[in-house]
Structure 1
Amino acid sequence: MTAKIHLAKNLEISRIITGLWQIADMERDGKTLDPVATAAFMEPYVVDGFTTFDMADHYGSSEIITGTFKNNNPLGNQVQLFTKWVPEPGDITLADVRTATQKALDRMQQTSVDLMQFHAWNYPDPSWLDGLFHLKQLQEEGLIKHIGVTNFDAAHLRIACASGIPIVSNQICHSLLDQRAATEMTDVCTEYDVKLLAFGTLAGGFLTDKWLNKDEPTETELTTWSQMKYKRFIDAAGGWANYQNVLSATKKVADRHGVSVANIASRYILENPKVAAVIVGARLGERNHIQDNKKILAIDLSAEDINTIKEAQKMLLPIPGNCGDEYRKPPFLTASGDLSHHLEKIPKPFTINKSSESREQIFSGTEWESFAGYCRAVKQDNRIYISGTTATHGSRKIGGGDAAAQAHFVIDKIEAVLQTFETTLESVVRTRIFVRNIDDWEPVARAHGERFKNINPANTLVEAKLVGEGYLVEIEAEAIIQN
């Protein structure tokens, strides 16, 4: 296997990216690593061709360390520095994006970011799209070379791409235990030419020889945040026995090649044609995985090898939801089992106007509401009525000519109303769908099916002449809040 791949035009990267999230752990006692001394430990990686490093605004001083290497080491011009911006939920202005980008540039001592990866917490609030549109503007200004996202699900990756955001990559969890990336995500990546950067391929160390044939650990025996997090993935996948079955099958394949379980676990994920690279963590100055990384690239898995692992995977339960859902909805597959160590609160997307004791309204502020005398939604007692909704955000039409993307964004807007009224899509009892072209009925219906799976409201879908050029779908909804 080649050690390099083009993530985008003018961006060639290592197929094994060195992740620096553990810098934060190395600095958690209040100390700051010496950037010059720590940067020196990057050189062996670069010498052996592992030139791509992944960071984030919350990975301690990782941006400072890598920038020090790039600016001062003779090999610095060979490296690619990827970082992430994880803003708080709520409104995102151009000034916010510019400040965050400039902070990363200052820390890395660069004039442009090789790849800026964006994380969104709450899709019903369309501020996440504002953030991406602002990043696109900074890309046009030259402050960002390429835009990526992290922990996006398939539907919202589709919305962003169809709306003209030039996304080149989505960084997501993908492992022998977590095969969500092999379903709808693959279809979207194929359609919009997006590559995947896979993390969690070793499941916090659980997909290594160390845990083979070991008893299930108790909560108190889980000593790291990664172990706490990925033990939840094991539980969600059907439990310890199913996991051990996959581990045993992977060990058989590893023995055939004379390598470790960890080598096979990462190499298997690189078999997904949409995966450009896997991310392997490093504790700079303490230990490295350079020789192990080289083994991964040298492995040539046979059809028998792949089938051995796939047969074991059949015993696993699918990880719930789509890619990244572990950060947005129950079950939260995080270290703490909730979002408490990530967020304080998620603000409501809309403001409620109370017009009487039993009647509340939401206005989205469009000119059409005052012109035509209606509101976005009305709550009367425990019933919610949501007006016909199109893929409009401010002055923008979202989703381009992709009917599924428009449908998903429309359902986001419906969910935003429900979220504001402190309920969820599960409260919806009826939807009515209007499509401009009957040929679009299937992608729209599939989008509805994905979002209302196991809710199953009463539904009608008809062809209609919609108001507004380019709008392919309009949806209205009714919900009942159960006391």
Structure 2
Amino acid sequence: MQTRIQLAPDLEISRVVTGLWQIADMERDTDDLDPVKTAAFMAPYVEAGFTSFDMADHYGSSEIITGTFKNTHPLGERVQLFTKWVPKPGPVSREYVRENVQLALDRMQQSSIDLMQFHAWYYPDPSWLDALFYLNELREEGLIKHLGVTNFDAAHLRMACASGIPLVSNQVCHSLLDQRAYGKMAQVCEQYGVKLLAFGTLAGGFLTEKWLGKPEPTQEGLETWSQMKYKRFIDVAGGWGVFQQLLKTVKTIADNHGVSMANIATRYVLENPHVAAVIVGARLGKSEHIADNLKIYDIQLSAEEVKLIQAAQAALTPIPGDCGDEYRKPPFLTASGDLSHHLEQVPKAFTPRQVNEHRSQVFSGTVWEEFAGYCRAIRDGNRIHVSGTTATHGARMIGGEDPAAQTHFVIDKIEAAIESLGGSLKDVVRTRIFVNNLNDWEPVARAHGDRFKGINPANTLVEARLVGEGYLVEIEAEAVVR
């Protein structure tokens, strides 16, 4: 297989990217690593062709180390540096976004970031879109070369792309255990030309010989954050018994090729045509797997071997939800089983205004609300009424010409209004959908079905002439809070 791929016309990367999240673990109980000495350990990776490195604002001093290598080492000009910005949920400003991008640039000692990847915690608050629009302005200015996202689900990847954000990648969990990337995500990647960067391909080391035939560990007995996280994936996927059957299958195929189980697990993920690269973690100077990782490129899985893996996967329970849901919805498949080690709180999108003892309102700030004298939603007793809502955010129309993207944004906005008034999307008992063109009814209805699956409110969908150029769908909703 090819060892490199074009992530963008001017960005060629290695198909095995070196992930540096373990820098944070290495520095957890000590001072920051010496950047010059640690950067030297990157050289063997680059010499072997593994020239792409993935970091984040919370991966310890990883940005400083990689920037030091790029600036001072003879091989520095060959590397591609990716980083991530993971802001806390809530409003953002242009100045705040610029400050954080500049911080990454200063830490990496660069004038431009090869790939900046953005993470959003809470979709109902449209501040995440503001952040992407501001990041794109910095891309146009030259401080960022390319934009990506991390842990986005298909609906919100679609929304960002349809709104004109030129995303080249989405970094998601994808492994033999976790096949969510083959679902709706694949459709969005195909439509908008986005590539996936897959992490978690070894499930924190569980998809290796180390755990084959071993008794099930307790959560308390696990040694690393990654192990605690991916043990939860195993539990949700059906438990230790079916997982061991998967390991046996992988071991058989690995023995046939004379390679490691990690090689097979990684190579299988690269079979996904939408995956540009897999991200394999490294402890620079501590644990080297360079020679073993090179074997990935020489493996050709036969059709029969692929069928064997798929048969073992069929015994697993699918990981619930879409890509990234492990950080946004129960069951939280994180090390702690919740978001306690990530966030202190998630603020609501809107602030209620108390009208009287029984009634409160929220406003989303669109020009239409002030112009026509109405609120986004009103709570009267235990009932919440949400006004007809279009894909309007400030002065922008979100979702472009994609009816599904507009619908998802509208439902996000409805969800934000209901949650701000003390309810949830599960409390919705009635929706009314108005489409500007009846030809758009199916993608709109499917998006509604995705978001209200299992809630199943009463619903009406009709064609109606909508006010405003470019709007494809308008939805109103009613909820009863129990």
Q: Deviations over 1:79-104 (max 9, x none)?
A: 00000000010011111111111111
Map of 2:48 onto structure 1:
48
TM-score scaled by length of structure 1: 0.99
SS of residue paired to 2:42: helix
Query: How far does the alpha carbon of each residue in 1:298-328 deviate from its partner, in whole angstroms, 9 at most, with x for none?
Result: 1111101100000010111111110000001
The count of corresponding residues between Structure 1 and Structure 2 is 482
Deviation at 1:291, TM superposition (A): 0.7
Tell me how far apart the structure 2 counterparts of residues 26 and 272 of structure 1 sit (CA, whole Å).
32
Q: Deviations over 1:398-428 (max 9, x none)?
A: 0000000000000000010122123221111
Q: Describe the SS at the equivalent of 1:28.
A: coil
Counterpart secondary structure, 1:191:
helix
In the other structure, the counterpart of 2:71 is 71
Q: Distance in 2 between matches of 1:363 and 1:155?
A: 24
Q: Structure 1 residue 89 and structure 2 residue 89: aligned?
A: yes
Q: Are 1:319 and 2:319 counterparts? A: yes
Give the drift of 1:366: 2.5
Measure how far apart 1:289 and its partner are: 1.2
Q: 1:113 is matched with which residue? A: 113
Question: Is 2:366–2:395's contact at 8 Å kept on the other side of the alignment?
Answer: no
Once residues 221 and 354 of structure 2 are traced to their aligned partners in structure 1, the CA distance between those partners, rounded to angstroms, is: 51
Give the secondary-structure state (helix, strand or coil) at the position aligned to 1:293: helix
Match of 1:409 in 2: 409
1:466 aligned onto 2:466: yes
**Structure 2 match to 1:154:** 154
Whole-angstrom distance in 1 between the partners of 2:452 and 2:270: 32
> Contact 2:367–2:394 (CA<8 Å) still a contact in 1?
no
Deviation of 1:373 (Å):
2.1
Instruction: Give the AA of the match of 1:373.
Output: G
User: Any unmatched runs of 5+ in structure 2?
Assistant: none
- Alignment of structure 1 residues 166-315 onto 2, 5 Å: 166-315=166-315
Which residue number corresponds to residue 418 of structure 1?
418
CA separation in 2, counterparts of 1:371 and 1:112?
Answer: 43
- Judge which range, 256-265 or 417-426, deviates more: 417-426
Letter in 2 for 1:402: D
**Distance in structure 1 (CA, Å) of the matches to 2:295 and 2:453:** 42
When the two chains are superposed, the root-mean-square deviation of aligned CA atoms in Å is 0.7
State the AA in 2 paired with 1:32.
Answer: D
Give the whole-Å Cα distance in 2 for the aligned partners of 1:289 and 1:38. Answer: 16
Instruction: Give distance in 1, aligned partners of 2:313 and 2:365.
Output: 50
Deviation (angstroms), 1:246:
1.1
**Post-superposition offset of 1:4:** 0.4
CA distance in 1 between counterparts of 2:118 and 2:428 reads 31
Give, in whole Å, the separation in 2 of the partners of 1:446 and 1:175.
27
Cα separation, 1, equivalents of 2:442 and 2:382: 32
Partner Cα distance (1:401, 1:411) in 2: 17
Q: Greater shift after overlay, 264-273 or 209-218?
A: 209-218
**In the aligned structure 1, how far is the partner of 2:203 from the partner of 2:175?**
7
**Residue 220 of structure 1: CA displacement?**
2.0
Alpha-carbon separation, structure 2, partners of 1:347 and 1:58: 21
Q: What is the distance in 2 between the residues matched to 1:363 and 1:32? A: 46
- The 2-side partners of 1:443 and 1:449 are apart by 10
* TM-score relative to the length of structure 2: 0.99
Q: CA deviation at 1:215?
A: 1.2
What SS does the corresponding residue of 1:148 show, helix, strand or coil?
strand
Matched residues in 1 for 2:164 and 2:373: separation?
32
State the Cα distance separating 1:213 from its structure 2 match. 1.3
